[in-house]
Structure 1
Amino acid sequence: MEGCDRDGRAVLSSAEETAVAAAAVAVVRRFQVERAAGRMKVTLSRRQQRILLQRVLDAPDCVTTSEAVLQLCFAIGCGVVPRTMPRWWMRRRTGGTWEDLRLCDDAMDDYFREKLRMSRRVFIEISEACAPLLRRQVTFYREPLPPEQIVAYALYRWATGESYDNNTSSFGIGRASGILAVRDVTNALLRVYGDRISWPTGVQKQVGLRAFLDKGFPNCHGAVDCTHIYVDKPTNALDENYFDRKHRFAVIAQVVVDLDLRVLDVFVGYQGSCHDIRVIQLSSLSRRAGQGLLFRGPPVTLPGGVRTNGYILGDNGYPPS
């Protein structure tokens, strides 16, 4: 810079002004060149696209292929062709347990085991077997519940032990419908699977005895334990009779199973306050064992010196007998 003006501000010399002007012209010129090159590229790209499109349209099968693609897209959009369900990275909530059970994806089997204590395959088998007994006629006033929903609610009620007031809303039904559904499913299961729970005989008995023998329990027929089924307190019943150690109203179910968890005997009905020993003493299992109807095998001597014709295993809550 050379000198100052009358106000004391620095001013550019002639050479500096020429250099600044030349730089500005160069920048503007570069911008114009790049802009022209961009327009040329866009023009060439559009021209190439038109040429390619014309070649496709000139192909003999173009119209047929285009119509097929459009029809496929229309079918997928209308739901005729099912889409592949995505994985459950996060569990979706659709507003109810029944709606969640109706979804089909790779996390469904785990959801069935969590809510109904069984796989989806077993649930479908039970629903199909009980459907003829649960199907209702469509009337002028209402549309009946599908058998699958009735079975699902009853199983959910038994699996969770929740009250009718709490769990019926998850299935979109009322309290009265929930009570009726449990009764209907109970009667249907007794009619369809009434002969499934039985004490083993013949070959099945020998297979069970052999399985326990391989585990170190000779002449053992099964294992027994009790579980609590939570219920609403029966009307006009004493609270302390049905109040169990977990401070809930319940009845006791005594179950005998083999090594494959196949149920051999069930005894249900005593109040939740009863001890396991008291239940087995009052059960039909103890009565039949005392009459010699269960353990008829040859006597064996156990490691403790006990000689018996047969027995079932229990935890520390049962005294040796």
Structure 2
Amino acid sequence: MDVRGCGHGLHEEEIDMVAMAVTAVVVNTMSGMSLSSRDMLTQIHKRRALLQSIAEAPDCMATCEAVVQLCAALSSSVFPRQTPRWWIRRRTGGTWEDLRLCDDATDEYYRQKLRMSMAMSRQIIATCAAYVEKKVTHYRMPSPVEQVITFTLYRWASGETYESGTSAFGIGRATGLQAVRDVTSAPLQAYPDAIKWPVGRRRPQILRAFRDKGFPNCFGAIDCTHIYIDNRVGAPSDNYYDRKQKFSVQAQVVVDLDLWILHVHIGYPGSVHDVRVLYNSQLWRRAEAGELFDAPPENPPHGVVTRSYLLGDNGYPVACPWIVQPYRGIDQGPDEERFNTRQKVARGCVERAFERLKCVWRLFLRTHKTNLETLPQQFVAVCTLHNILLDAGIDFDENLLWEVDENGVRRRVGNGAGGRAAAAVEQERGRGLVAGCTSRPRRFDVGPCKREGAGGGSGLGGRWKDMGWCDR
């Protein structure tokens, strides 16, 4: 082609078409920018100069030069590019930046980092955002709500330290500490009925499931687990060291056969016995008042009248009418052994619930640094998320139940559950630590979750605190 005396030029129509195509690319990339006013003004000047050079292109050399300039501008981030859809996930650096990518490859990444799908995490973030969002002030912009909630979920799921987690999310350590404080109460407010005693259609479903296991009128299984934490400065270590000489806090949980959590009671030091936790819980007060186990009694063939109850281990008192324990002693007949086997199998749901809860939210699986004032609310928050994921049908990765130790041996993780033996109950009774004692235990203050009228006396300050979120 020969244009303007140039043997290797382009027609004017072709030059105009190239210029129009380049102009269209430039204009399309101008939308969706989230820059400051000064940076936006600089970008506009650069684009205007580039468009001017394209419009005044005299021949093919100038046109090709304009195309080269445009490619160089795109590669130097003068114009933003749409995220390409790679067949593998494109790493951008940092966990938060990777979670922000919106291609199909990030769904598995969400399951790895947050233990849930991308759609489920967005639903939880959208529901909790109204309880976390802060006002814009004249001093600075608040951190994005999505980043704050995602960081808290990531810390609970990964169990990483604040130093490592905040670095992965590009925020400061103080911001991470405040983020956990702000987000902890959000699930409790956004999902007030996630943890509650079974009512409506769910109630007969639970009773029917336990009846199929051989335990009619059973509402669930009860047990305690320990949340291991670092010994904080000035803490009364004698109270918080459990029987395994670990610094911990007790948590009492009731679950059904579907691993749904029906009741949570947390806040007592690790040295407190399971029986004492029970006697000072809202569960005990409501059960003794006849508010919970009100199902009609059943009279099975060749049996006794069966009223409503829970399944528990030998750590609970025999005198409690609504907790069924295994037979004690070593000289047991075939019927007693058969009953103990069935009771242990049915009661295993609470152990499996602890395993799933702690393996998904691994912060509570190992010893970690935390604030004792917010620890009870954090645990209730992950129990709420536990029920939400069960309700949504999120599959549980069985590989989370296993880990490789320092010797390279693959073993099953421990969940810190289990009560004491029956002999320990008598030992505690002799020390005055169960019902009928006159001495008062040392107290543990969990801040805003306290319940008035749950005990009195002196100690660490404040009253006994009963989470009692199952009542909502």
| TM-score, structure 1 normalization | 0.63
Relative distance call for 1:239 and 1:132 in structure 2 (3 A) is same
Secondary structure in 2 matching 1:142: coil
Q: For the residues of structure 2 that align with 1:234 and 1:243, how far apart are their CA atoms?
A: 12
Q: For the residues of structure 1 that align with 2:128 and 2:254, how far apart are their CA atoms?
A: 25
Deviation, 1:134, is 1.6
Equivalent pairs counted in the alignment come to 264
Coordinate RMSD, CA, aligned: 4.2
Deviation, 1:158, is 3.1
1:259 aligns with 2:260: no
Tell me the residue number matched to 1:86.
87
1:182 aligns with 2:180: yes
1:284 aligns with 2:282: yes
Tell me the residue number matched to 1:100.
98
User: Amino acid of the residue matched to residue 142 of structure 2?
Assistant: P
Deviation, 1:233, is 4.1
| TM-score, structure 2 normalization | 0.46
Equivalent position to 2:166, from 160, 165, 168: 168
Equivalent position to 1:152, from 132, 141, 150: 150
Q: For the residues of structure 2 that align with 1:145 and 1:312, how far apart are their CA atoms?
A: 45
Secondary structure in 2 matching 1:151: helix
Secondary structure in 2 matching 1:155: helix
Deviation, 1:295, is 0.8
Deviation, 1:218, is 1.9
Q: For the residues of structure 1 that align with 2:82 and 2:92, how far apart are their CA atoms?
A: 24
Secondary structure in 1 matching 2:147: helix
Would you say the 8 A contact 2:216–2:306 is kept in 1? no
Relative distance call for 1:205 and 1:129 in structure 2 (3 A) is same
User: Amino acid of the residue matched to residue 142 of structure 1?
Assistant: R
Structure with greater helix share of residues: 1
Tell me the residue number matched to 2:307.
309
Q: For the residues of structure 2 that align with 1:159 and 1:259, how far apart are their CA atoms?
A: 24
Question: How far does the alpha carbon of each residue in 1:44-83 deviate from its partner, in whole angstroms, 9 at most, with x for none?
Answer: xxxxxxxxxxxxx9xxxxx989977996799697666543
Larger radius of gyration: 1
Equivalent position to 1:272, from 270, 273, 276: 270
Q: For the residues of structure 2 that align with 1:112 and 1:227, how far apart are their CA atoms?
A: 28
Q: For the residues of structure 1 that align with 2:314 and 2:105, how far apart are their CA atoms?
A: 38
Deviation, 1:165, is 4.2
Secondary structure in 2 matching 1:309: coil
Q: How does 1:1-321 map to 2 (within 5 A)?
A: 81-87=82-88, 94-95=93-94, 97-106=95-104, 108-231=106-229, 233-234=231-232, 236-243=234-241, 249-300=247-298, 307-314=305-312, 320-321=324-325
Deviation, 1:269, is 0.9
Deviation, 1:126, is 1.8
Secondary structure in 2 matching 1:300: coil
Question: How far does the alpha carbon of each residue in 1:90-122 deviate from its partner, in whole angstroms, 9 at most, with x for none?
Answer: x95823x32333234555344434433333333
Relative distance call for 1:216 and 1:274 in structure 2 (3 A) is same
Deviation, 1:200, is 1.6
Deviation, 1:148, is 1.4
Would you say the 8 A contact 2:207–2:216 is kept in 1? yes
Would you say the 8 A contact 1:162–1:230 is kept in 2? no
Would you say the 8 A contact 1:87–1:105 is kept in 2? no
Deviation, 1:199, is 0.9
Secondary structure in 1 matching 2:234: coil
Extract unaligned runs of 5+ from structure 1: 1-56, 58-62
Deviation, 1:143, is 2.4
Instruction: Say which is worse superposed, 108-117 or 181-190, in terms of deviation.
Output: 108-117
Of structures 1 and 2, the one with the larger relative CO (CA 8 A, separation 6+) is 2
Would you say the 8 A contact 1:161–1:231 is kept in 2? no
Question: How far does the alpha carbon of each residue in 1:236-288 deviate from its partner, in whole angstroms, 9 at most, with x for none?
Answer: 32224334578764423322233343332111112234454543343222332
Deviation, 1:133, is 2.3
User: Amino acid of the residue matched to residue 120 of structure 2?
Assistant: V
Would you say the 8 A contact 2:219–2:256 is kept in 1? yes
Would you say the 8 A contact 1:163–1:231 is kept in 2? no
Extract unaligned runs of 5+ from structure 2: 1-10, 30-73, 318-323, 326-472
Would you say the 8 A contact 1:161–1:230 is kept in 2? no
Q: For the residues of structure 2 that align with 1:136 and 1:166, how far apart are their CA atoms?
A: 25
Relative distance call for 1:249 and 1:73 in structure 2 (3 A) is farther
